[in-house]
Amino acid sequence: MIVDKLFLYQFRNLKNQDIKFSNRLNLIYGNNGEGKTNLLEAIYLLSITKSFRQSNREDFISFQEREASVFADIKDNVSLKNIGISFFRDQGKKLFINHNEEKSLSNFIKNLICICFTPNDLLMIRGASELRRKFLDKHISDYEPIYLNYLLQYKKALKNKTILLHQGASKEQILPWNRILADCGFFIQQKRIEFLQKLEEYAKEIYSQIAPNDDSLNLVLKNNFQNEVSKDALLIKYNNYLSQEIMFKKSLVGIHRDDLLVFLGDKDSKKYASQGQARSIVLSLKLGVLKLLESKLNESLVVLLDDMDSELDDSRREMLITSIFEKTEQVFISGVNKNILDFLKNNEIIKVFNLTCGKVCELC
Ligand SMILES: Nc1ncnc2c1ncn2[C@@H]1O[C@H](COP(=O)(O)OP(=O)(O)OP(=O)(O)O)[C@@H](O)[C@H]1O
Ligand SMILES: [Mg+2]
């Protein structure tokens, strides 16, 4: 799939613009604070409706304005579609496919799948478990969009249960929510395990290429409950904790506390991986997802590489860009430096855009 054209309306500092992209490589360069990450964020939003940053709906709308929109023409192997999102300061957001409102999130997210690499990715190894769950949940939803429906249902039930616990509700009032948590939770847990098994195969191989002298990469889903074999077995686990949860007035266990553990040999990377190893692990996981999704969907994905000149030295950056470029079709790269793609010989496939004062201008 390819983002052919992007239409922005009052999106952060980018205001109103139509941009036609290259279907291979797009370089977006500009000084700090000009809006490069905003542009990549706009594309990413069309894939999952959430940002890769800690942002909420209101942040996307230009200061002083009441609404913002991002629309794009997306080409895939079989069709050309227009998809879009509008954000309203007071009324939430609306999704569109071919200018008709789309209510189903799982239908919407099928149309564009992006994998994003940002300098913050290292937090995925070192940071809170929530970041690793987000990584898993996003890409399992890409792999199997129905997963997102179960996840949303689970989150809604958990929210209701939490409110009831807080209000000091009785066991009888909470049990129906545990039933939903167990039903959806069982599905989510199974899908997480299946996905990790598949991802591990790809990520292991990629890691061994990047770091041939290191121990091998292993992925494990850590959960409070052992991998239960049925919804009923999972329900029993949820219900076993209910008295304690009522006492503490909060939810104590469940698949919303799962974590993705990444081991190098038998060492937990969260504690022991060096900075360089952590970076290589993130690359292996993301490149692994890229390969896994492309083989499942038979369709190339869109890759976003933000801030490409901030952390990597020249040779690592070239290696990363070349390997991604070989694996996929359309890539967006942002950076301060206009020359980061000079090592590529074929200029015809590259479009270069300069961003100044929130205006995107294509260089001829
Ligand atoms: N809702 C908004 N309305 C208007 N401007 C906004 C809004 N949200 C963020 N901005 C502006 O966008 C700019 C930041 O954009 P962005 O993070 O994309 O910059 P960048 O080019 O990626 O910078 P860097 O090179 O430092 O990463 C800031 O100047 C910020 O004030
Ligand atoms: Mg940036």
CATH number of domain containing 338: 3.40.50.300
What are 11's strand-pairing partners?
61
Residue 61 in this model has a pLDDT that exceeds 90: yes
Give the domain CATH number at 135: 1.20.1050.90
Domain stops at, among 264, 281, 296:
296
Q: In sequence order, which residues have a C-beta less than 8 Å from that of residue 202 and are 6 or more positions away? A: 287, 288, 289, 291, 292
Q: Is the CB of 36 under 6 A from ligand 1?
A: yes
Q: Judging by DSSP bridges, how do beta strands 330-335 and 259-264 pair with one another?
A: unpaired
**For a substitution probing ligand 1, which of 9, 10, 13, 336 has the most ligand atoms within 8 Å of its CB?**
13
Q: Which of 296, 326, 356 is the last residue of a domain?
A: 296
267 shares a domain with 235:
yes
Closest CA to 62 of 93, 28, 89: 89
| Mean pLDDT in residue range 41-52 | 95
Is 46 found in the same domain as 25? yes
Tell me the mean pLDDT in the region 337-347.
80
Identify whether residues 218 and 307 lie together within a single domain. Answer: no
Q: Are residues 217 and 248 in the same domain?
A: yes
Ligand 1 closest atom vs CA 61: 1
Residue nearest to atom 11 of ligand 1 (CA): 13
What pTM, to 2 d.p., does this model score?
0.89
Residue 78: the pLDDT is 86
Same domain, yes or no, for 151 and 171?
Answer: yes
Residue to mutate (ligand 1; options 8, 12, 31; most atoms within 8 A of CB): 12
| Residue owning tokens 């009785």 | 170
Q: Is the pLDDT of residue 347 over 90?
A: no
Taking residues 191-219, report their average pLDDT.
93
CA 35 to centroid of ligand 1, rounded, Å: 5
Q: Is residue 319 part of a domain?
A: yes
200, part of any domain: yes
Give the sign of the dihedral formed by CA 201, CA 206, CA 209, CA 214. Answer: negative
Instruction: Look at residue 202 in the predicted model and tell me its pLDDT.
Output: 95
**275 and 154 within one domain:** yes
Whether the CB of 37 sits within 6 Å of ligand 1: yes
For residue 118, is it within any domain?
Answer: no
Q: Answer yes or no: is pLDDT of 338 > 90.
A: no
Determine the structural domain holding residue 199 and report its residue range: 128-296
Domain identity same for 255 and 359: no
Residues 305 and 287 occupy one common structural domain:
no
Q: What is the structure's pLDDT at 327?
A: 79
Q: Specify whether the CB–CB gap between 150 and 188 falls below 8 A.
A: yes
Instruction: Tell me whether residue 291 is in a domain.
Output: yes
What is the pLDDT of the chain when averaged over all its residues?
92
- The reported pLDDT for the residue numbered 225 is 75
Q: How confident is the model at residue 134 (pLDDT cuts 50, 70, 90)?
A: very high
Closest protein CA for atom 8 of ligand 1 = 12
Whether 32 lines ligand 1, by a CB cut-off of 6 Å, is: yes
If one compares 277 and 260, the residue with the highest pLDDT of the two is 260
How many structural domains are present in the chain?
2
| Binding site membership of 306 for ligand 1 (Cβ less than 6 Å) | no
Q: Which of 97-111, 181-195, 321-335 has the lowest mean pLDDT?
A: 321-335
* Ligand 1 site, residue 307, Cβ cutoff 6 A: yes
257, 280, 296 — which closes off a domain?
A: 296
What pLDDT is recorded for position 340? 83
> From the alpha carbon of 35, which atom of ligand 1 is closest?
18
Residue nearest to atom 28 of ligand 1 (CA): 33
Kindly state if the Cβ of 41 falls inside 6 Å of ligand 1.
no
Identify whether residues 279 and 322 lie together within a single domain.
no
Residues 160 and 277 in one domain: yes
Do 76 and 165 share a domain, yes or no?
no
**What residue owns the CA closest to ligand 1's atom 15?**
35
- Do the domain assignments include residue 259? yes
Alpha helix (H) ranges present in 117-253? Answer: 123-126, 129-143, 146-166, 171-210, 231-240, 242-248
* pLDDT tens track for 88-114: 998 899 999 999 999 999 999 999 999
pLDDT of 15: 87
Ligand 1 atom closest to residue 336's alpha carbon, by position in its atom list: 25
Instruction: Count Cβ atoms below 10 Å from residue 18 Cβ, excluding itself.
Output: 10
Per-residue model confidence (pLDDT) at position 318: 83
With respect to residue 230, please indicate whether it lies within any of the assigned structural domains: yes
Beta bridge partners of 97: 83, 100
User: Which one of the ligands is nearest to 39 CA?
Assistant: 1
Backbone angles phi, psi at 114, to 5 degrees: -115, 145
Q: Residue written as tokens 């800690």?
A: 54
8 A C-beta contact, residue 143 and residue 293: yes
76 lies in some domain: yes
Question: Is 123 a member of any domain?
Answer: no
Helix (H, G, I), strand (E, B) or coil at 253: coil
**Confidence class for position 129, pLDDT limits 50, 70, 90:** very high
Domain shared by 278 and 166, yes or no: yes
Question: Is pLDDT at 299 greater than 90 in this prediction?
Answer: no
